[in-house]
Amino acid sequence: MRPYLHVLIITLIVTISFGQEVEIVSNGEDRSFRINLPDDTENSVPLMFILHGLGETSAFWYGPASYITNQGFVAVRPESGTFLNNSGTGYVKLWNAILDSTRYDDVQFISDIIDHMLSNYDFIDHDRVYVLGYSNGGYMAYRLACDLSSKITAFSSVAGNMFLDDDGFDCINQGRNIPILHIHGTEDPINSYYPGGNGVDILDDQYLTIVESIEFWSDYHEYDVVEIDTILSEVSIRYTYSNDNVLSNFEHIKVIGGGHVYFYGDNYGFSSTQESIDYFLQYNLSDFIINQEDTNDDGLYNVEDINVVVDHLFEGLQYNASYDFNLDLNNSIIDVLTLCDLIF
């Protein structure tokens, strides 16, 4: 075999197994992500992000990515930034899910990836963009639920808790229901399941356990019903929180005695990847924002809706995703002009 053919074959094998690597500039930083495409792209297909854990890389998650593409999804595995560790002795891969003072703006990065994918792959369904994160990636999934719900439909966190800034005021003006699946073991030694548990409590009172996360989203959506099912295994229990007047559910899979792991296999009776897929496919983004132009909820689309957004801008109020009509993660006069085009 000729040497260049040997190199070509190896390159093709690596690309197919680990995905195509793409580099972009986001917020002035060189960033990268991996893409795995399904075989069938004749029809529109959903896109799922897979966010790796602390100290991991995107390459580590090629197995779930391959599984996801076999289910007809485009799988995107972004690469987090690298930060100096707490001891100052080395560097670690870490999503900026918590602190805004760090070098990398990962919310903007994910937003830029979505724009790139929708611009370059016309078979991707913008109505079905989802995020699955493990551990630190699960934290990032929650961060995106608060900061990028205008572009992402639903979210899944495995062994990753929620972090709130300013007692949750950064996550209450979404203007839509937020579907969330949270999978967690009760004996997680890193991210506590129960308040006062054994997890690494580095975030003080801004770190929510799963119990507190359920309380937060139950209050947000005014959930008044909880259904409990044992799924495939005596140690794995599914809780579904709902309200007949709310489009989305908060679903939680509790693994009794489970540690800080990505759950799958006979020991647990379910696969975190498949559960996320099944949960995601219940929801389309347009289900939540179909009446976004009706800003005053009077059932009409007119100048009064424009006045609501103008008043919001002049009063200098906090960012509201419902008024972000050009999807740039800001409220500005451009949103007013975009709304004018939509209405008139």
45 burial (CB, 10 Å; 0-12 / 13-18 / 19+) is: buried
Q: Which domain holds residue 152?
A: 3-289
If one counts the domains in the chain, the total is 2
Taking the model in full, what pTM does it have?
0.80
> Are 211 and 273 found together in one domain?
yes
Is residue 294 in a domain?
A: no
CA dist., res. 88 & res. 119, Å (int) = 40
Token digits for 127?
Answer: 């109505």
Same domain, 285 and 314: no
- The predicted-structure confidence for 260-299, as pLDDT tens digits, reads as follows 999 987 778 899 999 999 999 999 998 886 556 667 766 5
Measured between alpha carbons, how far is 58 from 80 in angstroms, rounded to an integer?
Answer: 8
Q: Is there a domain that residue 296 lies in?
A: no
Residues 277, 309: one domain?
no
Low-confidence ranges of the chain (pLDDT < 70): 1-18, 84-90, 99-102, 165-170, 173, 196-206, 231-232, 289-294, 297-300, 321, 327-329, 344
The reply to whether 331 and 196 lie within a common domain is no
- Scanning 19-134, the segments in alpha helix (DSSP H) are 62-70, 106-120
Residues 240 and 93 in one domain: yes
pLDDT at 115: 92
